[in-house]
Amino acid sequence: MTKLTFRNAQEGDLDKIVGMLADDPLGMKRERYEKPLPESYHQAFHAISSDPNNELVVACMDNEVVGVFQMTFTPYITHQGGWRATIEGVRTSSAVRGKGVGTQMFEWAIHRAKERGCHVVQLTTDKKREDALRFYERLGFHATHEGMKLKL
C-alpha cells in the first residue's frame, strides 16, 4: 500500500469529494452529484474552511484524492472542559476500498485529534453500514452510547 498524504481540502476538490460521497447505496440517495455541483456544497465548503474548529481533510495517493473526512473539534464543559474530535463524512474512492486507505486515514485523524488536545475521538455511522461498523471496531472504537437523530 502506498503511503498517503493528507491535506486540507481545496474548493477544486469538491467534485471528487461529492463523487465519493454519492458513490455508495446510502450516499446516492442523499447527495446530488451533478455538474455543476449545487451551490450548497460550495457554501458548506466555505463555512467549514473558515471555521478553525472544522477541517475537511483529503487523503491523496500520488496527488490524486482517494479519501475524505471531516473533523470537528468541540470543547465540552463535561470531562473537565475537555475537547472532542468528531469524524464524519468518511469516504474512500471505490477504486481503493479494501486496500488500507481507511486505516491510514484514521491513523492520521487520531494523531490530529491528539495534536489538538482532544481526550476522545467519536463518530457515528449508519447502522446499515455493517462493514463500516466492523472496520471501526477493528480500529478500537466501541459502541458505548446510543446515538439519536431528529430529521428536520
Burial of residue 3 (number of CB atoms within 10 Å: 0-12, 13-18, 19+): exposed
Three cell numbers, residue 124: 457515528
Per DSSP, the residues of 39-59 read: HHHHHHHHHHHT-TTEEEEEE
pLDDT bucket at 4, cuts 50 / 70 / 90? very high
Domain that holds residue 56: 5-138
Q: How far apart are CA 135 and CA 102, in angstroms?
A: 9
On whether residue 148 sits in a domain, the answer given is no
Which is more confident, 148 or 6? 6
Predicted structure pTM score: 0.92
- CA 113, CA 85: separation in Å to the nearest integer? 6
Within a domain: 48 = yes
- Kindly state whether residue 147 falls inside one of the protein's structural domains: no
Task: Report how many domains make up the chain.
Answer: 1
Give the pLDDT score at 43.
Answer: 98
What pLDDT is recorded for position 1? Answer: 62
For the residues 125-150, what does the mean pLDDT come to?
Answer: 90
Q: Is residue 13 part of a domain?
A: yes
Percent of the chain with pLDDT over 70: 99
Q: Is residue 115 part of a domain?
A: yes
Instruction: Establish if 93 belongs to a structural domain.
Output: yes
Q: How far is the C-alpha of 80 from the C-alpha of 27, rounded, in Å?
A: 37
| pLDDT tens by residue, 80-115 | 999 999 999 999 998 898 889 999 999 999 999 999
Q: Which pLDDT tens digit goes with each residue over 17-54?
A: 999 999 988 888 889 999 999 999 999 999 999 999 99
Q: Is the pLDDT of residue 138 over 90?
A: yes
**Residue 150 belongs to a domain:** no
Does residue 144 form part of some domain?
Answer: no
Task: Please say if the pLDDT value at position 147 is more than 90.
Answer: no
Terminal CA-to-CA distance of the chain, rounded, Å? Answer: 42
Res 111: pLDDT: 98
Per the model's pLDDT, the better-predicted residue between 85 and 78 turns out to be 85
Angstrom CA distances, 87 to 92, 100, 109, stand at 14, 18, 8
> What mean pLDDT value characterizes the chain?
94
Q: Supply the CATH number for residue 102's domain.
A: 3.40.630.30
What's the confidence (pLDDT) of residue 85?
A: 98
